[in-house]
Structure 1
Amino acid sequence: MQLDFIDWSIIFGFFAISLVIGAVVSRQAGKSSADFFLSGRNMPWWLLGFSMVATTFAADTPGLVTNIVRENGVAGNWVWWAFLLTGMLTVFVYAKLWRRSGITTDLEFYELRYSGKPAAFLRGFRALYLGVFFNIIIMANVSLAAIKIGHVMLGLDPAETIVIAATVAVIFSAMGGLKGVLLTDFLLFIIAMVGSIGAAIVALQQADIGGMAKLITHPNVQDKMAMLPPFDLSTDASRDLLITLLVIPLSVQWWSVWYPGAEPGGGGYIAQRMLAAKDEKHAIGATLFFNVAHYALRPWPWIIVALASLVVFPDNASLQVAYPDMPADQVKGDLAYPAMLAFLPHGLLGLVVASLIAAFMSTISTHLNWGSSYIVNDFYQRFVRPDAGQKELVRVGRISTVLMMVFAGILALFLRDAYQGFEILLQIGAGTGLLFILRWFWWRINPYSEIVAMVVSFVVALWAAFAAPEEMPSWLKLIAGVGITTVAWVVATLVTPADDEEKLRSFYRLVHPGGWGWKRVLDKAAADGVPLPTDGNSHIGLGVACMLVGCVGVYSALFATGYFLYGQTTNAIILTVVAVVAAGFLATMWSKITAGDNSTPGQKPNIVED
C-alpha cells in the first residue's frame, strides 16, 4: 500500500494539531496533580462523553469486531454488547455517587469506604495491579493492532511500528495531562468516525461486492448476518454457540466481570472522567452520551467492513497469501480489517490512516494518564513520598507514563490476535463485578472481601489458561471463575470483622448511597443520636427503571440501524419508534434523575492514613 503526498499531508496535519493542543495545555497541566489527572474538576459533559467514547474507539476495536464477525457472525458481538447493561447502571445509579465522593482516583475509594491497614494495602496493591500490570496488558493489545495496521498500510515491521507509535503517544500524553487528552479526543473521535464510515462505503463499492444489497445475499455472508444467534438446542455445537454468544453475556457476564470501560458500578478511566466533571449532572450526562455513542452509533461501519472482508478474504489462508511477510501466527481474523483498507483511494486513505492513529493515540493516552494517576496518587504520594510537592508528582507521572509504554510495547510483540487479549481480560476480572456493584450499597463488605476477590479471580484465571481441560468451553471457564470467586468473597465478607462504624457513617454521610443494605448502619446511627440522611433511597428504584428503559432504547437504535442496512424496513421502523419512546421517557425523567446537590464540585474527603 502506497501513500502519496495528500495522504501524508493529512497524517502530518493531524499530528501537528494534536501536538499543538498538548503544548498549549502543558503549562496548566503541570501546575498540580489535580490539573494533570482531573483537569481541575470543571469539565463539561459533552467533552467528557466524547473522550469516553474516543478512548474505547481503540485501534484494536475494529480488528476485534472484524475477528468476532468472521468467526461467529454479527451476533458474536453480544460478548461486548451485553456490557451496555452495566454501562446504563453506571449512568443512572453510580455516576452521581462517584462525582459526589470528590476523590481523585477510583482507587482512593478504598480508604474512603474502608478503614485501617487492609484498606491502605488494598489501595496500594491495586494501584500497581491495575495501573501497571492490568493496564500494560490493555495497552499491549492496542499496540498489537498498531503492529498489524503498520505492516499492512505502511510496510513497517513490528519493532518499527512500536517505536514510532509509542514515541508519539508518550510525548503527547506526558505533555498535556487529562485536559490535553480530553481536547484531542474530541477531534480524534470525529476523525475516527469519518474514517470508519468512509472505509465501509469503499468496502461496499468493491467489484467483488457491488453494494449492500449484493453483500447481504452473498453465500459467504448470509450465515453471518443475524443479530441474534439461532435459538437451536438440537446439537451440542448450536447449544454452545447460543450459550456463549447470548445467554452468558446477558445473564452473567455483564454484572460479574470487571472489564476496562465497562466496570460494574463504574471505575477506571470512566470514573476518572466522572470525577473530572463540573458536577453530578455533567457526570451523568457524560456517561449517558458515552453509552449511546459506544453501542448505538459506532458498530455498524466496522460490521459492514467485516462482512465485506468475508467476500474478499474468505479465510485466514487468503489473508496469508495477501500478506506473506506477516508471521503466520499473527494472521488471524483481526488482520482482515486493515487488509480491507488497502482498497481506499488516496486522500481517504490518508484520513483513515490518521483515524486509526487517532484511535491508537486516544486509547493509549487515556490509559497512560489513568495508569500514572494510580501510580502517583495511590502509590507514590500515599506510601513513598506523602510530602511530595505538586511539581514532583507531575514529574513522577510523566516518568511512569514513559515506562508503562515501554513495557506495553514489548508485551505487544508476543501477542497474536485481538480476541486473545479480550478473553484474558474477561477471565481475570470474572467474579469481581458483583462486589463492585454491592460495595456501595451493602455496609458489610470490607477490604478483605476485595482482597479475596482479587486473589481468587486471578488464580482461577491462571487455572483457566493453563490447567483447565482443553475441551472445556470458554463460557464454562467463565462460569467457574464467577462462581468460585463470588463464593470466596462472600464467605470472606461474612467471616471477617465488619468495618469501623465511624468510617461507614462518614462514607454514607458524604455519598448518600441509600438502599436496604445500609439499614443496620442507619438504625444504629439514629439510636446513637447522630441520624444519617436518607435521601439516597428514593432514587435507586428510579435509577434501575431508567437503566432498563435506556438499554431498550439503545438496543432498539442499534438493531434498527442494522435492519435499515439489511433492507428490512418494517422491523427498522418499529424499533426506531421504540427507541424514540424510550428517549422520550428518559427526557421526562431527566430532572428527577439528575436531582442532587449540583451547586459546587465535590471536595476531596479527609482520609486517615494508618
Structure 2
Amino acid sequence: MELSTLDYSLIIVFFAIVLGIGIYVSKKSGKSSSEYFLSGRTMPWWLLGLSMVATTFSTDTPNLVTDLVRTNGVSGNWGWWCFLLTGMLTVFVYAKLWRKSNVKTDLEFYELRYGGKAASFLRKFRAIYLGVFFNVITMASVTLAAIKIGGVMLGLEPWETVVAGGLITVIFSALGGFKGVVYSDFLLFFVAMAGAIGAAYYLVNIPEVGGIQAIMENENVKDKLSILPDFSNKKALITMLVIPLAVQWWSSWYPGGEPGGGGYIAQRMLAAKNENHAIGATFFFNIMHYALRPWPWILVALASLVVYPDIASIQQAFPNVVESKLGQDLAYSAMLTKLPSGLLGLVLASLVAAYMSTISTQLNWGSSYIVYDFYKQQINPNATEKQMVNVGRLSTVVLMVLSAFLALALQNAMGVFNLLLSFGAGTGLIFILRWFWWRINAWSEITAMFSSGILAILLETTSLKEILFNPENGVFPEWGELPFIMVITTIIWLTATFVTQPETKDVLRSFYQKIQPGGPGWAKIIEEAKQDNVEIVANDQKWSVPSGIKAMLLGVVLIYTIMFATGYWIYGETNLALTLTGVAAISAFLLIRAWNKMKDHIL
C-alpha cells in the first residue's frame, strides 16, 4: 500500500503537534510529583472526560471489536458492554468518594482504609502487580494491535512498528507527564473520532461492499447483525449475555472497568477540581465510550465479512503477514488498506493517536504506582520531589521496553482480554463493598488477589481446564470458567475476612471521618464511637447511595437505549429506533431530576 505525500504530511503534522505539547508542558510537569502525575488537581470535567475517552480509544479496541463481531456477531460485544454497569456505579456512587479521599494514587487508599503491615504489603505488592505486571500485559496488547496495523497497512516488520511507535510515545510520555497526556488527549479524541467515522462511512460504501443494505443481505453477515444473542441458543445466551450482566461486571477487575473505580479512571477523578467535576468527567466518558463510539468499528467489522469472509482470505490478500499474527482481528486493518489518499492519512494518524493516548496513559499511571506506592514507600521514604519525577521518567521508559518485548510474543487481542478477566474474577465485589462494609480488611484483598490469579494460571497452564469444562464430559458447563473462579475466590476471601482480625478502631474511625461513606455497613463503628464519646459523623444528611443507585440505573437505561437506537437507525429499523429514542429521552429527563436531587449530598 502506497502512502501519498498528503498522507505523510497529516501523520508528520500530528506527530509534531503531540511532541510539541509534551515539550511545552515538560517544565511545569517536572516541578513536582503532584504536577507530573495529577497536574496539581486542577483539571475540569470536560477535559478529563475527553481524556478518558481518548485513552480507551486504543489501537487494540477496534481490533477486539472486529474479532468479537466476526466470531460471535454484534452481540459478542456484551463481553465489554456489560462494564457500563460498573461505569455508572462509579459515576453516581464512587466518583465523589475517590475525590474526597484526596489520595495521590488509588493504591494509597489501602493505607487509608486498612492498617498495619498487611496494608503496607498490599499497597507495595499491588504497585508491582498492577503497575508493572498487569500494565505491561495491557500495553503489550495495545502494541500487538499496532504491529498488526503496521504489518498490513505499511508492510512493516513487528520490530519496526514497536520501535517507531514506542520511541515517540515514550519520549512524549516521559517529558510531559499527566498534563501532557491530558492536553494531547484533547487533540487525539477529535482525530481518532474523525478517523473512525470517516473510515466506516467510506468502507461501507466501497463497490466490494455495496452499502449498508448490501451488508445486511449478505449471507456472511445475516446471522451477525443482532444486538442481542439468539435466545434459542442456550450456550450463546449464557456466555454472551447472562454471565456478563449477572456476574462479570461486578466480579471482575479489568483495566478501565474496575468495580468501584480504580486505575487510570481513578487517576483522572483524583486530578479533578472537585467532586462534581470528577462525577461529570466519568459520566461524559461512559456516554461516549458505550453509546456512540462502538458503531463505526462494528460497521467496518461487518463490512469486512463481505470482503474477507474468513482468515484464509485475509492471509491470501496479505501473504507477507507472519502466521503467528493472523487472526480475525486482522480484518480491521485489512479493510483500512482500501481507503483513499487523505482519508488514509487521517485514519493512520487517528490510529497513531489512539495508540499514543492509551500507552501514554498506561505509562504515566503505572509509573505513579512505582513512584508513590513502591519507591517512596519501600526504597526511599525521604525522596525529594525531583527524585520522584526522575524515577517516574525512568520507570516510564522501562515499562515501555518490557511491553514492547511482550507484544512481539503475543498473537491475539481477545485472548489477552479473556486472560485479564480471569485474573481479576472474584475480586470486584471487594472493591465495591470495601467503602461500605467495615469488616473487610487487608487480608480480604490479599487472599482474593492471589486466589483468582493462581486459579487463572492453573486453568491456563494445566489440564485442569480440560477436566472441569470439557463440553463433552466436563464437571461443569463449558461456559462455567469465569463463574467458577468467581465463586471459589469469593468463598476464599470471605473466609479469610472472618478468620482474621478486623481493622483497628482508630483506622476505621479515621477512614469514616474523612470519607463519610454512610450506610448500614458502618452502623457498628458509628455506635461504638458514640459510646466512646467520639464523633465521626460529620453531618445528618441522608445516605446518598440509594439515590445514587437509582441514578445509576437510569444512566444505564439511557446509554443502552442510545446505543441500541443508534444501531437500529443504521439498520433502517425505524419503528424500533424511534421507540428506543423515546425511552432514551424519558430516561434522560428522569436522570436529570435524580441528579438535581443528588447535588445536595455532593456539594
Q: Under a length normalisation based on structure 2, what TM-score does the superposition of the two structures give? A: 0.97
Map of 2:491 onto structure 1: 487
Residues 177 and 369, structure 1, Cα contact 8 Å, conserved in 2 = yes
Residues 515 and 537, structure 1, Cα contact 8 Å, conserved in 2 = no
What's the CA shift for 1:594? Answer: 3.4
State how far apart, in whole Å, the 1-side matches of 2:597 and 2:170 are.
42
5 Å-filtered alignment, 1:45-60, equals 45-60=45-60
Residues 19-41 of structure 1 show CA distances to partners (whole Å, capped at 9, x for unaligned) of: 11111111110001100000000
Residues 155 and 320, structure 2, Cα contact 8 Å, conserved in 1 = no
Among residues 424, 428, 435, which one is paired with 1:429 in the alignment? 424
State how far apart, in whole Å, the 1-side matches of 2:522 and 2:63 are.
44
- State whether structure 2 residue 525 is matched by structure 1 residue 530: no
Among residues 515, 519, 538, which one is paired with 1:511 in the alignment? 515
Letter in 2 for 1:64: L
What's the CA shift for 1:584? Answer: 1.4
Task: Give the gaps of 5 or more residues in structure 2.
Answer: 472-476
What's the CA shift for 1:535? Answer: 4.9
Residues 144 and 411, structure 2, Cα contact 8 Å, conserved in 1 = yes
Among residues 559, 567, 572, which one is paired with 2:564 in the alignment? 559
Letter in 1 for 2:508: L
State how far apart, in whole Å, the 2-side matches of 1:594 and 1:76 are.
37
Map of 1:115 onto structure 2: 115
State how far apart, in whole Å, the 2-side matches of 1:491 and 1:444 are.
12
What's the CA shift for 1:532? Answer: 2.2
What's the CA shift for 1:151? Answer: 0.7
Map of 2:598 onto structure 1: 593
Map of 2:135 onto structure 1: 135
State how far apart, in whole Å, the 2-side matches of 1:206 and 1:575 are.
30
Residues 276 and 602, structure 2, Cα contact 8 Å, conserved in 1 = no
Among residues 332, 339, 344, which one is paired with 2:339 in the alignment? 344
Map of 2:465 onto structure 1: 469
Letter in 1 for 2:488: I
State how far apart, in whole Å, the 1-side matches of 2:71 and 2:228 are.
14
Tell me the matched-pair count. 593
What's the CA shift for 1:475? Answer: 3.1
Residues 544 and 601, structure 2, Cα contact 8 Å, conserved in 1 = no
Residues 373-399 of structure 1 show CA distances to partners (whole Å, capped at 9, x for unaligned) of: 000000001111111111110000000
- State whether structure 2 residue 10 is matched by structure 1 residue 25: no
State how far apart, in whole Å, the 2-side matches of 1:21 and 1:542 are.
41
5 Å-filtered alignment, 1:313-392, equals 313-392=308-387
Compared CA separation, residues 43 and 394, structure 1 to 2 (3 A):
same
Map of 1:192 onto structure 2: 192
Compared CA separation, residues 287 and 64, structure 1 to 2 (3 A):
same
Residues 551 and 595, structure 2, Cα contact 8 Å, conserved in 1 = no
Map of 1:602 onto structure 2: none
State how far apart, in whole Å, the 2-side matches of 1:215 and 1:421 are.
30
Residues 257 and 263, structure 1, Cα contact 8 Å, conserved in 2 = yes
State how far apart, in whole Å, the 2-side matches of 1:157 and 1:147 are.
8
Map of 1:235 onto structure 2: none
Compared CA separation, residues 535 and 577, structure 1 to 2 (3 A):
farther
Task: Give the gaps of 5 or more residues in structure 1.
Answer: 233-237, 599-610
State how far apart, in whole Å, the 1-side matches of 2:478 and 2:140 are.
22
State how far apart, in whole Å, the 1-side matches of 2:226 and 2:594 are.
34
What's the CA shift for 1:586? Answer: 1.8
Task: Report which stretch shifted further, 321-330 or 358-367.
Answer: 321-330
State how far apart, in whole Å, the 1-side matches of 2:159 and 2:264 are.
28
5 Å-filtered alignment, 1:225-264, equals 225-232=225-232, 238-264=233-259
Map of 2:546 onto structure 1: 541
Map of 2:474 onto structure 1: none
Letter in 2 for 1:367: Q
What's the CA shift for 1:597? Answer: 5.9
What's the CA shift for 1:328? Answer: 1.7
Residues 514 and 536, structure 1, Cα contact 8 Å, conserved in 2 = no
* SS of residue matched to 1:226: coil
State how far apart, in whole Å, the 2-side matches of 1:125 and 1:556 are.
41
Map of 2:269 onto structure 1: 274
Residues 300-352 of structure 1 show CA distances to partners (whole Å, capped at 9, x for unaligned) of: 00000000000000000001111111122321011000100011010000000
State how far apart, in whole Å, the 2-side matches of 1:486 and 1:28 are.
45
State how far apart, in whole Å, the 2-side matches of 1:33 and 1:500 are.
31
Letter in 2 for 1:119: A
Residues 254 and 264, structure 1, Cα contact 8 Å, conserved in 2 = yes
What's the CA shift for 1:538? Answer: 2.1
Map of 2:83 onto structure 1: 83
- State whether structure 2 residue 288 is matched by structure 1 residue 293: yes
State how far apart, in whole Å, the 1-side matches of 2:602 and 2:425 are.
35
State how far apart, in whole Å, the 1-side matches of 2:339 and 2:100 are.
48
